[in-house]
Amino acid sequence: MEGIDLHIHSTASDGTLSPAEILKLAQKLKLRAIAITDHDTIDGSKEALQTGIPPSVKFLTGVEISASSPPSISYAGSFHILGYSIRLDDPQLNKTLAVLQQARKNRNPQIVKRLNSMGFEFSLKDVAKEIGDGQLGRPHIARYLIKKGFVKSIDEAFKKYLAQGKSAYVDKYRVDCERAIEIIVDAGGIPVLAHPILLNFDKNETNDLFALLKDMGLKGIEVYYPENPPGMTTFYSKLAERYGLLKTGGTDFHGSLKPDIQLGSGRGDFAVPYEIYEKLVRI
Ligand code: AMP
Ligand code: FE
Ligand code: FE
Ligand code: ZN
């Protein structure tokens, strides 16, 4: 494989491989460039740099910020802003991530409480014991529900209880998207809209959103994504060109928490060309 993967989760958030394991696997798969983009934390990127980057793999620092959609746009699904090549010691970025992390800490007990009231007996501590120092999220709770025999799969856990609108769903604090873009830019980084397909927008809404985000300072769109239905990668690609936005891509690798998705190759037929990386570092 000669490609790249610019969307990877580590044990710092809801991935199951440590940054060191990701670097090793990327080397083994001959990926030429990667970025670790954990939810609302840069600990994964920090750890990768401390571990040492193998000479054959180019590395970009990264983060995936939970953002809220612009007020003028109807409610979006997963609205995530990726940040690449960010300065990891930027005070404003670290302060914002600390707020997001605290919001998750406040939210998790509420999710567990809801599940308890539905007859699922366990504590947040039980879930925490299963993971290391990383940030606990819904996928960890889903995996614990499987372990206890309450559900059979992560998918079932989300569909029945944890997804938005389901009985154990608790909303979480998100950063206003214009602010998220600004924070990434101020930290020397490149803000990119993650996985537009997960917004659940139609084509007109997507067009309007890209235009709006471009005005807010967005620099790129994650055009290449394994979940894109046929034709959508081309659609996003054309829109990105229309608005002068960079095209990026990645698998959204989560290790065994998203078992169908492999590093670099998604479901096996996915690849992001190296030139995407070259264009990203040139701006
Ligand atoms: P949280 O960060 O706790 O809000 O959880 C969000 C994460 O849960 C996402 O990044 C995905 O990894 C995962 N996720 C969200 N929706 C689903 C779903 N329907 N099925 C499986 N995983 C999901
Ligand atoms: Fe995730
Ligand atoms: Fe995401
Ligand atoms: Zn992600």
- The pLDDT tens digits for 94-112 are 999 999 999 999 999 999 9
CA-137 nearest atom, ligand 1: 3
Contact 64, 194 (CB under 8 A): yes
Is the pTM above the cut of 0.95? yes
For residue 9, give the amino acid letter. H
What residues are neighbours of ligand 2 (ion), with CB under 5 Å?
Answer: 14
Which atom of ligand 1 lies nearest, measured to the CA of 13?
A: 2
Task: Say what the pLDDT of residue 1 is.
Answer: 58
CA of 236 to the centre of ligand 2 (A): 22
Q: What is the pLDDT of residues 77-89, one digit of tens each?
A: 789 999 999 999 9
Say yes or no to pLDDT of 124 above 90.
yes
Instruction: Look at residue 143 and tell me whether its pLDDT is greater than 80.
Output: yes
Instruction: Indicate the average pLDDT of the chain.
Output: 96
Distance in angstroms (rounded) separating the CA atoms of residues 254 and 86: 21
Q: Give me 245's structure tokens.
A: 């936005």
d(CA 148, CA 162): 16
- Tens of pLDDT, residue by residue over 180-224, are 999 999 999 999 999 999 999 999 999 999 999 999 999 999 999
Q: Whose CA is nearest to atom 15 of ligand 1?
A: 163
Report which protein residue has its CA nearest ligand 1's atom 21: 155
CA distance 97 to 41: 6
From the list 195, 261, 248, 257, the residue with the least C-alpha distance to 6 is 248
- In the reported structure, the alpha carbon of residue 39 is separated from the centroid of ligand 3 by a whole-number distance in angstroms of 7
Q: What is the number of the ligand closest to the CA of 195?
A: 3
Spacing, Cα 154 to ligand 2 middle (Å): 12
Question: What pLDDT is recorded for position 160?
Answer: 98
Tell how far the Cα of 241 is from the centroid of ligand 4, in angstroms: 23
Question: What is the pLDDT averaged over residues 158-169?
Answer: 96
CB 232 within 8 A of CB 17: no
Span from the CA of 139 to the centroid of ligand 1 (angstroms): 6
> Which mutation among 14, 115, 198, 225 tests ligand 1's pocket best, with the greatest number of atoms within 8 A of CB?
14
pLDDT grade for 230, boundaries at 50, 70 and 90: very high
CA of 192 to the centre of ligand 2 (A): 17
Please give the distance, rounded to the nearest whole angstrom, from the Cα atom of residue 54 to the centre of ligand 2: 25
129 Cβ neighbours under 8 A, 6+ residues apart: none
Pocket of ligand 1 (CB under 6 A): 14, 39, 137-139, 154-155, 158, 163, 172, 254
The atom number, within ligand 1, closest to the CA of 39 reads 2
